Structure 1
Amino acid sequence: MAGRREKYGQSLRGSKIAIAIVIGVLLGCVFAFLFPQGLFSSSDPPTRNRRLSKSSLQVDSSSCDSPERINLLKSDIMKLSEKNAELKKQVRELKEKLQLAAQGKGHAEEQVVALSEPRKAGPFGTVKGLRTNPPVLPDESVNPRLAKILAEVAVRKEVIVAVANSNVRDMLEVWFTSIKKAGIPNYLVVALDDAMVEFCKSNDVPVYKRDPDKNVDLIGKTGGNHAVSALKFRILREFLQLGYSVLLSDVDIVYLQNPFDHFQRDSDVESMTDGHSNMTAYGYNDVFDEPAMGWARYAHTMRIWVYNSGFFFMRPTIPSIELLDRVADRLSQEKNSWDQAVFNEELFFPSHPGYVGLHAAKRTLDFYLFMNSKVLFKTVRKDAALKKLKPVIVHINYHPDKLSRMRAVVEFYANGKADALDQFPDGSEW
């Protein structure tokens, strides 16, 4: 019994010692956490640190309040703002490039395939030739001032361009008013005289005036419709060289929708037609009859009505620029030539002995959406179903009383006046 009590007492003493050690360790940890610099350390260093910290704060505060420091901060803020604006511009340009890239992805794939090394033709019905010519490399050195304007005005590198002098001021007002009402932001007037510049600025219309040029200035100030129309082919070249697609527009046009929503962009030139039906607009087989030839009296011909040189969409490609050069060169030498006739001859005539034709892809626009005034006054206004159709534009190209008919088109389509077109004859008065 005595032995068991002795062992029990020793065990109890051992347990107490272990408990005391554990408690001691725990207390040590607590004091170490609460007093990291020691329980009996001097309080002077923290006080000294606080004084140093307060002094340094006072120094920093005084330095921030100094004029030099404030100016430096303002300069930094300005630089950051400029950098931010530049980054926003780069992001906007990148978005436009991505949209263009997505838009032309299919065409680019065709180009890569067509321009690669020679390959075997595929199965029947699967062979496709090159549809779209690649765009030129933009060259801003051609006209830095115009490049800056276009960077602000154009949308997705596309812009409507009208060439105008003060002789067409009233029509131009109807033109840009309809553009604004249709919500089209990307348009530009190329002014040929100072009065037109001031007129555009006073109406918040984007305007550009070329650098002085004796020949251009003379035509711009005194030229009639045909002279100014011929001049536009020289002017447009710089737009294409800068890498922009251009919708060339005469001023006798009323806009009712955004035309850029209706282009296919699969050709060098997309143009409205002077045709007034499926046959005349898109081409047809015309049989020429010559009875004197007997058995061979009938000769088949392919015909199409001309493209209108007052409304066409042109991509910045080599064939497009070559077309402008050819037309401008001929018009400068052939004083009595009509620009629309020359435009179509250069676009359609094939290569033949003594002549190398232009290799340009072309598309005829829907003549009900891109409507000429013959279609409107001779057909559409008399057809209950066609009257419900809203065209993209109406071009008063077949009639000389342009301004009154433009205003009537606005009343009919934009303001809903049902009888606005009734007062006019189908054709024109001689």
Structure 2
Amino acid sequence: MASRREGPLMRGGGGGGGQPLSRGSRIAAAVAVGVTLGCVCAFLYPDGLLSRSSDAALHWARQADSVACENYEGVTNLKSKLVSLERKNAEFRKQINELTMKLQLAGQGKDEVPYKAGPFGTVKALRTNPTVTPDESINPRLAKILQQVAIKKELIVALANSNVREMLEMWFTNIKRVGITNYLVVALDDSTETFCKSKDVPFYRRDPDEGIDNIGKAGGNHAVSGLKFRILREFLQLGYSVLLSDIDIIFFQNPFDHLYRDADVESMSDGHDNRTAYGFNDVFDEPSMGWARYAHTMRIWVYNSGFFFIRPTIPSIELLDRVAGRLSREAKSWDQAVFNEELFFPSHPGYEGLHISKRTMDIYLFMNSKVLFKTVRKDAQLRKLKPVIVHLNYHPDKSDRMKAVIEFYVNGKQNALEHFPDGSE
């Protein structure tokens, strides 16, 4: 049989004795190796292996709790940021729209057209002009008053002096009854200022201006009416939309709930039916022209300069400047005639027309006294309508008719209007 070869452990140890290691020797060698490894581990891991692992586990647990907390706070922060971004986005859209309108306005009259026309039936021109940048430096005192009185940068404004105290009281009494708070009286004399204070009516007294003050204190209706175009300019420069109101007007609803705000000027009409108020094709007949005897004309009755809503735009301010300028130069001109000429006359040789957008108010909501006394009071259905305002512009006996209108619409006295003639006597 072949002899068995022995491995190294079975052979003799050092010294060449050739004898196998004893059990004690093997144990001693193992202890020596263990001690050596222990020293190496103690040097490399002074904090110990288990301590490091437990710390790591604790660190991960704390990190998990922190992440959960941070996730909750992160969601809240994200929601807040989302709301903020949505607001900024809305502001950016508004700015883009305004810049787009300015770009279109800047491109008018130029060879290059910045926009392409859309499909048939979809094209619409600009409806509103951009508002001006408010400039509070022109009148800090008025700016402070308007901040307190106006709502959404809109308010009713009326001019008054002591000559019209009775009508002024009816005017603001009905405004208060309706619940309107954003209104202001421009007091043209000391007596009116004192009167407004005593009645808790918001008022504004302009800084002294000799020319305007003389007209304001002693002027009649037409003279005072002409002042408003100059005075209103500051309101628009401050960035406020104004609903200008004469004081021979009775309020039955809040007019701001019935405005469209899609034009520079939104005015009540002196027209007494749909044709005269909103425009019609009037055929002019000239028999001497034979075959061409009929000429078509477009007609509309004038806007009433005693009640109109005007937005703070460049065309609106230009309108006020034009009217005020002409009234200062043309002593015999009537402010309402000039107001309408500047609104409607087109550009022609020697004259550049005003580029301004306008809207006619509903004649049964914003009712003049001709509509009321000639038509509405005689019609059973129209009598049921509740107007926003009634303007006693067609009749000189204003105070008596104003009282009767209040009796009819506020107190329900059905025969309150019957004894008045259609027109004036």
Q: Into which bin does the TM-score normalised by the smaller protein fall?
A: 0.7 to 0.9
How far off its partner does 1:110 sit? 7.4
Q: Matches of residues 157-196 of structure 1 in structure 2 within 5 Å?
A: 157-196=153-192
Change (3 A) 1:101 1:381: farther
Q: Determine if contact 1:350/1:357 at 8 Å carries over to the other structure.
A: yes
Q: Of residues 183, 193, 204 in structure 2, which corresponds to 1:197?
A: 193
Q: Of residues 104, 120, 123 in structure 2, which corresponds to 1:124?
A: 120
**Distance (Å, rounded) in 2 between the aligned partners of 1:366 and 1:399:** 20
Specify the code of the residue in structure 2 equivalent to 1:287: V
**Distance (Å, rounded) in 1 between the aligned partners of 2:334 and 2:324:** 11
Q: Determine if contact 1:163/1:232 at 8 Å carries over to the other structure.
A: yes
Q: Determine if contact 2:277/2:363 at 8 Å carries over to the other structure.
A: yes
Q: Determine if contact 1:269/1:313 at 8 Å carries over to the other structure.
A: yes
**Distance (Å, rounded) in 2 between the aligned partners of 1:101 and 1:227:** 43
How far off its partner does 1:104 sit? 7.6
Q: Of residues 278, 283, 287 in structure 2, which corresponds to 1:282?
A: 278
How far off its partner does 1:416 sit? 1.0
Matched, 1:309 2:305: yes
How far off its partner does 1:112 sit? 7.7
Specify the code of the residue in structure 2 equivalent to 1:205: V
Q: Determine if contact 1:320/1:360 at 8 Å carries over to the other structure.
A: yes
Q: Secondary structure at the match of 1:357?
A: coil
Give the match for residue 327 of structure 1: 323
**Distance (Å, rounded) in 2 between the aligned partners of 1:200 and 1:398:** 27
Cα deviation, 1:78-125, whole Å, max 9, x if unaligned, reads: xxxxxxxxxxxxxxxx9xx99x97998997597389569712211100
Cα deviation, 1:186-238, whole Å, max 9, x if unaligned, reads: 00000000000000110010011000011111101110000000011000000
RMSD: 2.2
Q: Of residues 101, 105, 120 in structure 2, which corresponds to 1:111?
A: 101
How far off its partner does 1:423 sit? 1.4
Q: Of residues 270, 292, 301 in structure 1, which corresponds to 2:288?
A: 292
Specify the code of the residue in structure 1 equivalent to 2:230: R
Change (3 A) 1:291 1:300: same
Give the match for residue 152 of structure 2: 156
Matched, 1:402 2:398: yes
Give the match for residue 24 of structure 1: none
Q: Of residues 388, 393, 401 in structure 1, which corresponds to 2:389?
A: 393
Q: Determine if contact 2:186/2:203 at 8 Å carries over to the other structure.
A: yes
Change (3 A) 1:143 1:109: closer
Q: Of residues 376, 387, 403 in structure 1, which corresponds to 2:372?
A: 376
How far off its partner does 1:417 sit? 1.0
Q: Determine if contact 1:107/1:132 at 8 Å carries over to the other structure.
A: no
Change (3 A) 1:106 1:380: farther
Give the match for residue 29 of structure 2: none
Specify the code of the residue in structure 2 equivalent to 1:141: S
**Distance (Å, rounded) in 1 between the aligned partners of 2:295 and 2:280:** 14
Q: Matches of residues 69-88 of structure 1 in structure 2 within 5 Å?
A: none
**Distance (Å, rounded) in 1 between the aligned partners of 2:346 and 2:361:** 22
Give the match for residue 244 of structure 1: 240
How far off its partner does 1:424 sit? 0.7
**Distance (Å, rounded) in 1 between the aligned partners of 2:366 and 2:270:** 10
Q: Determine if contact 1:135/1:243 at 8 Å carries over to the other structure.
A: yes
Matched, 1:418 2:414: yes
Q: Determine if contact 2:102/2:130 at 8 Å carries over to the other structure.
A: no
**Distance (Å, rounded) in 2 between the aligned partners of 1:375 and 1:148:** 39
Cα deviation, 1:277-298, whole Å, max 9, x if unaligned, reads: 1100000000000000000000
Change (3 A) 1:373 1:102: farther
Specify the code of the residue in structure 1 equivalent to 2:359: R
Specify the code of the residue in structure 2 equivalent to 1:173: E
Give the match for residue 219 of structure 2: 223
Q: Determine if contact 1:193/1:221 at 8 Å carries over to the other structure.
A: yes
**Distance (Å, rounded) in 2 between the aligned partners of 1:268 and 1:168:** 30
Q: Determine if contact 1:110/1:131 at 8 Å carries over to the other structure.
A: no
Specify the code of the residue in structure 2 equivalent to 1:111: M
**Distance (Å, rounded) in 2 between the aligned partners of 1:205 and 1:105:** 37
> Which of these two proteins has the greater Rg computed from alpha carbons?
2
Cα deviation, 1:300-319, whole Å, max 9, x if unaligned, reads: 00000000000000000000
Q: Which runs of 5+ in 1 are unaligned?
A: 1-93
Q: Determine if contact 1:271/1:311 at 8 Å carries over to the other structure.
A: yes
Specify the code of the residue in structure 1 equivalent to 2:384: K
**Distance (Å, rounded) in 1 between the aligned partners of 2:316 and 2:347:** 17
Specify the code of the residue in structure 2 equivalent to 1:413: Y
Q: Determine if contact 2:226/2:335 at 8 Å carries over to the other structure.
A: yes
How far off its partner does 1:153 sit? 0.2
**Distance (Å, rounded) in 2 between the aligned partners of 1:377 and 1:106:** 48
Specify the code of the residue in structure 1 equivalent to 2:194: E
Give the match for residue 336 of structure 1: 332
